[in-house]
Structure 1
Amino acid sequence: MGKGRITKEHILDQAFEFASQFGLESLTVGELAKLCGMSKSGLFAHFNSKINLQIAVVEQANRVFLQRVIAPVRVENSLSYQEKIHHLLDNWMTWNHSFQGSCMFLDAWKDSQDDELQIALKQAVKQWITYLTIQIQKGIEIGEFHCDLDAKQAAFELYGHYLSAHLFYSLVGKEESSARFWKSVETLLSGWHVSNK
């Protein structure tokens, strides 16, 4: 790996950590240059604009999300799809709680805008919802979940519970929001399972 690539990866690691704690919109070339011990011009040369930097951080966040949330479940071949989804959700909530209960993607997403950054954020969220939907659909196909379960609707409902937990974290804190999230998720998953017919 070339020196330039190593430097860029170091910059993105620092940028990701900063954005995780303070939000993507707070990230500036000047602030990041200080964190990396670089000049603004030296750092700017890697990205050419603030929005390119922010998009690169979203892409970095996607890679970290894959490593922390999805990859650990992919290697567990013996799990049922209900167990896989449970583990995915557990990893997902752990991911969010590592950022003080917030979600970098949702916090920076402004639905009324349609610039390159917003498109990248929307795509990141869409990819995750699609992955969840695929796991639910596979559970239907092997007969673990009810054959008449609508995978897209099921993913919609799961994400709705997540959004509620995201909001309640700010209102009542981690312990209560997590307890309510898991209670609602367990009820949902139980209703999907064929053994409960």
Structure 2
Amino acid sequence: MPGDGRIARGDATRRLVLRRAVDVASVDGLEGLSLGRLATELELSKSGVFALFGSKEDLQLATIEAALEIFRSSVTTPARAAEPGLPRLRAVCEKWLDYSERRVFPGGCFFFNVGAEFDARPGRVHDAVAAASGSFAAFLRETAEEAVALGHVHADAELLAFELHALGRAANADAVLNGGTRAYALARRAIRARLAG
């Protein structure tokens, strides 16, 4: 069918734009995104990019979804492959620190950055950021609960998940602000100590 080629090209262009959008937003925030900027940087027509997204808010929402897919493929999906309990809990922490340290997104953890940008702003973008961040927090909590239920860790699972989340977020924030990898090394030591205790 003649339209199939256009659809495939449109999908490829959409993926290209979103890959650039997640990188831009990780550094400049979701407010730093514009259809015109992305079109110029990627040497695409503004009308073509506008046709893919329609509005800045639609672009922001699509960017959050694209970032979540990248996050899942870097962190939660490989962590799920580990044995249940403590091995999986260690894996999710390690994969998360690796994701941030490797700069899968140039600005560090995408959701840490856009969460700070939209935490006090109501609306659809806030809700999408909160849902994406909340899905990881829930996975971390469920993994901690599983480790406690299996007797691998003796702790309040909710508190343990909160502490692990805080250590990962602190490592990301410190490393992005100050550079280097020391914060990740300290977070790994703290997480190992917490899971050993």
> Which of the five TM-score ranges fits, normalised by the shorter chain?
0.7 to 0.9
User: What's the counterpart of residue 127 of structure 2?
Assistant: 119
Alignment of 1:12-27 (within 5 A): 12-27=18-33
User: What's the counterpart of residue 29 of structure 1?
Assistant: 35
- Gaps spanning 5+ residues in structure 1: where? 192-197
| In structure 1, C-alpha distance between the alignment counterparts of 2:78 and 2:113, rounded to whole Å | 25
- 1:96, distance to aligned residue in structure 2 (A): 1.5
Change (3 A) 1:86 1:101: farther
The equivalent position to 1:164 in structure 2, one of 162, 166, 170, is 170
Secondary structure at 1:62's aligned position in 2? helix
- 1:157, distance to aligned residue in structure 2 (A): 0.9
- 1:101, distance to aligned residue in structure 2 (A): 6.1
Change (3 A) 1:101 1:38: closer
| In structure 1, C-alpha distance between the alignment counterparts of 2:44 and 2:177, rounded to whole Å | 39
| In structure 2, C-alpha distance between the alignment counterparts of 1:103 and 1:25, rounded to whole Å | 17
Alignment of 1:1-197 (within 5 A): 2-3=7-8, 4-76=10-82, 79=83, 81-97=85-101, 98=103, 99-100=105-106, 102-109=108-115, 110-146=118-154, 149-170=155-176, 172-191=178-197
> TM-score under structure 2 normalisation?
0.84
> TM-score under structure 1 normalisation?
0.84
Q: Percent identity?
A: 29
Say which structure, 1 or 2, has more relative contact order (CA 8 Å, 6+ apart).
Answer: 2
The alignment yields a C-alpha RMSD, in angstroms, of: 2.1
- 1:100, distance to aligned residue in structure 2 (A): 4.7
**98-107 or 119-128, which deviates more:** 98-107
